[in-house]
Structure formats: C-alpha cells, structure tokens
Structure 1
Amino acid sequence: MAGFFAVEYTYAPEAAAVRDRFRPEHRTWLSAQHEAGRLQFVGPYSDGSGALLMITADDADAARDLLAQDPFARESAVAAVSVKELTQVFGPY
C-alpha cells in the first residue's frame, strides 16, 4: 500500500546556476509526477534554501528511486535530500 513521504531538498548556493538552467525541465518532470498522482504538492522555501515535496510511493526506496529521476538530481543541483514517511492524520484522501 502506498504511503506519503515528506521530502526536503537542500540547495547549495553554488549550484544556483545549475538549478536555473534545468528548472524548466525540473518543473516539467514535477508536473508529470503530479498528473500521475505521485506528487501531492511541491514548493520552494521562500528563503531559497531548498524545497518541500510530498510524494506517494510504496516505500522509502521507491520514493528515492522516483526522486533520482528528477533533473535536479541528475544534474547534482541538490546538495542534500531527506525522505521521511508521514503518517497522515487529517487531509484529503
């Protein structure tokens, strides 16, 4: 049974140009994941330090496998990734 995984991307300031270059491809990938039901929501932190994603996956390994397909991951535009399973108490579903 699929579960929710809170994902935190931490951005390194020195990779800003890489993120800018690949952001259109990254956003297209995010949109495809959302349309497929694998991405519930996503957004960058207002201070530019990273982003928060909520994804649906069978387990943490499947979540990491999905994230590895992100163009930002492929281009090493993310300094660190945290994946934590979330137990939903309230919300849609």
Structure 2
Amino acid sequence: MAMFAVEYTYSDATAAARDEHRPKHRAWLSGLVEDGRVRATGPWTDGSGALILLDVADEAAARDLMAQDPFAPRGRGDAVRITAWTPVMGAFSG
C-alpha cells in the first residue's frame, strides 16, 4: 500500500454547496476510515480547504477513490491535489 495526501482547496463561492452535501461527504469518508483506506481527514482551521490521508495501492487507486467523493462530481471544492507521500517517522510510518 502507498500513502497519498489529498488536499482540497475551498473558496466562499463553493461554501453553500459544500454545506449542503457535507453529511454525504463525511458519511463516505467514515466508511473509508472503517475499511482503512482513509487514515486521517479534516479541514484546515482557516476554512480554506481540507486534508485527507489515503492508504491505497497506487495513484490510480487514489484518483479513482477520490472521484467517488460526493463533493467531487458536484464541484464542491475549487481544486484537488493528490500527492504521493512517504511518512518517515511518526504515527503513519512503518
């Protein structure tokens, strides 16, 4: 398995749509936490976006998974960045 950092960027223009669909988004994420594909997730404290740490087979799997996010097809965020990440120390290393 490989780790990927998924960064969502938000703006005021998409806030109402995010608020409307956030329960579905969080329910979706909760299932992924339960099955181990999401290791951690949460919004930036300034409201500018969020971070999701994925543990999946490869980048294609990360992109396929994120395409299923209830936020994704509805344009609830302004940008999504998926980056391979190698944790060296701490809770996610090993």
For normalisation by structure 1, the TM-score amounts to 0.93
Q: Report the residue type matching 1:47 in the other structure.
A: D
Percent identity of paired positions between Structure 1 and Structure 2: 50
Give the alignment of 1:1-93 within 5 angstroms: 2-92=1-91, 93=94
CA distance in 2 between counterparts of 1:64 and 1:43 reads: 19
Post-superposition offset of 1:12: 2.5
Structure 1: 5+ residue stretches without partners = none
Structure 2: 5+ residue stretches without partners = none
Q: Report the residue type matching 1:12 in the other structure.
A: S
Post-superposition offset of 1:57: 1.2
The alignment yields a C-alpha RMSD, in angstroms, of 1.0
Post-superposition offset of 1:51: 0.2
CA distance in 2 between counterparts of 1:91 and 1:3 reads: 16
CA distance in 1 between counterparts of 2:43 and 2:87 reads: 22
Post-superposition offset of 1:91: 2.6
Aligned length: 92
For normalisation by structure 2, the TM-score amounts to 0.92
